[in-house]
Amino acid sequence: MGQLQRQRYCKTCQKKTLHARATFSGGWGIFLTIITAGLFLPVWLLIALIQAFSPWRCQVCGGGRMV
């Protein structure tokens, strides 16, 4: 699993802090799709859809609320 990071405003900390969320590696997705002859592709798309709506987490307080 990879990780995306961005500077965002945290409502809990009341300042801009580093926020992160987990991502699934595209390299692994391609590898698993090829190895399973395409059977992993729907799973990979489902993972991508779920991750698109996953919350960003503040690296200072751990909160998920931000603007």
pLDDT digits (tens, 9 = 90+) for 7-25: 999 988 999 999 999 888 8
Task: Report the percent of the chain where pLDDT is more than 90.
Answer: 57
Write down the pLDDT at residue 31.
94
In a 13 Å sphere around the CA of 64, the CA atoms on its Cβ side amount to 6
Per domain, the residue ranges of the chain are: 2-58
Contacts with 57 (C-beta within 8 Å, 6 or more apart), sequence order = 19, 20, 21, 63, 64
pTM for the predicted model, two decimal places: 0.67
